[in-house]
Amino acid sequence: MIELPESISLAGQLNETVKGKTIASVQANAVPHKLAWYFGDPAGYGALLSGKIIGKARGVGGKVEIAAEDKRVLLAEGINIRYFAPDETFLTRHQLLITFTDSSALACSVQMYGGLWAFTEGAYDDEYYRVAKRLPSPLSDLFDLPYFLELAEENSGKSAKAFLATEQRIPGLGNGVLQDILFNAHVHPKTKINLLTEQEMEELFGSVKTTLCKMTVQGGRDTETDIFGKPGGYHTLLSKNTVGQPCPVCGGEIVKAAYMGGSVYYCPQCQKERK
């Protein structure tokens, strides 16, 4: 799933590859997917975007926003974005294909579920999109310790997972990046944050900043791919790829558990649940 490190990394790659190109044609919903979300009728995407020049792409929380003059393309959740040079063969199965006048293309496909929205700037109004643009990014200087502690106070009865990774109160921080953040802070996903000491809260804040920064600098997590189909450079400590493997700190077994409609990964020795 696209989260903050991936949205920033993908946007950077798009700015290097497609910025300044002119859209020749658009195919949307060519291969229907039950959990592919569009804005309005995808059949109208061609008329909406054709002839537009690609501007700057940017990460907006866990979404990638691509400017095309007065239009926007917004890609989110489980969208696989692939760039194809003029001499490459495109993917045949996709939910959105944007072809440029130089015969290069962007092919976007849905893994499990995801949004592929195209709209005139200002026409799309989604709460998470709006909040992600309004609240400070955890990578910014505005996201400092006083801000974090105030946010924690407002959500003091929530578990660590619920506080950090739900409702997009911290833009782009989702269940994927959450695992290493909590591991580095020695916090169990189910531990209520009001049970953490002041020092532990400071360590959790530091882990949010440093873990996300490291993930972003290294081009996203190795559980996700970039626009060339290559995995990110950040080696995840806790993920579907490391279940059952030894903890890198204590050697104990990394476990997986269902929690809050998703999966959490943790080391029972390094991250003891506090009740």
DSSP per-residue codes, 6-65: HHHHHHHHHHHHTTTPBEEEEEESSS--TTEE-SS-GGGHHHHHTTPBEEEEEEETTEEE
Given this model, what pLDDT does residue 90 score?
A: 85
Given this model, what pLDDT does residue 40 score?
A: 94
Co-location of 148 and 128 in the same domain: no
Residue type (1 letter), 119 = F
SS3 185: helix
CA 204 – CA 209 distance, rounded (Å): 9
Residue type (1 letter), 20 = G
Q: Which residue segment(s) compose the domain that 25 sits in?
A: 4-133
Given this model, what pLDDT does residue 60 score?
A: 95
Q: Which of 133, 155, 188 is the last residue of a domain?
A: 133
Co-location of 261 and 158 in the same domain: yes
Co-location of 75 and 140 in the same domain: no
Longest dimension (CA), the chain: 60
The CATH number for 178's domain is: 1.10.8.50
Co-location of 23 and 115 in the same domain: yes
Angstrom CA distances, 275 to 159, 166, 195, 260, stand at 10, 21, 8, 17
The CATH number for 98's domain is: 3.20.190.10
Co-location of 227 and 144 in the same domain: yes
How many C-beta atoms surround the C-beta of residue 19 within 10 A?
14
Q: Which of 76, 100, 133 is the last residue of a domain?
A: 133
Q: Is 183 part of a structural domain of the chain?
A: yes
Q: Which of 101, 133, 165 is the last residue of a domain?
A: 133
Co-location of 216 and 260 in the same domain: yes
Co-location of 209 and 246 in the same domain: yes
Given this model, what pLDDT does residue 126 score?
A: 85
Q: Is 84 part of a structural domain of the chain?
A: yes
SS3 199: helix
Q: Is 52 part of a structural domain of the chain?
A: yes
Instruction: Kindly give the pairing relationship between strand 105-120 and strand 36-37.
Output: parallel
Q: Is 122 part of a structural domain of the chain?
A: yes
Total domains, the chain: 2
Co-location of 112 and 147 in the same domain: no
How many C-beta atoms surround the C-beta of residue 51 within 10 A?
13
Co-location of 60 and 180 in the same domain: no
Co-location of 151 and 38 in the same domain: no
Q: Is 233 part of a structural domain of the chain?
A: yes
Contact (CB, 8 A) for 149 and 163: no
Q: Show Cβ contacts of residue 16 under 8 Å, excluding neighbours closer than 6 positions.
A: none
For the chain (275 residues), the mean pLDDT of every run of 10, in chain order, is 97 98 97 95 97 97 97 96 93 94 97 95 88 93 97 95 94 96 97 96 98 97 96 95 94 95 94 91
Given this model, what pLDDT does residue 259 score?
A: 94
Closest CA to 137 of 57, 213, 67: 213
Co-location of 29 and 143 in the same domain: no
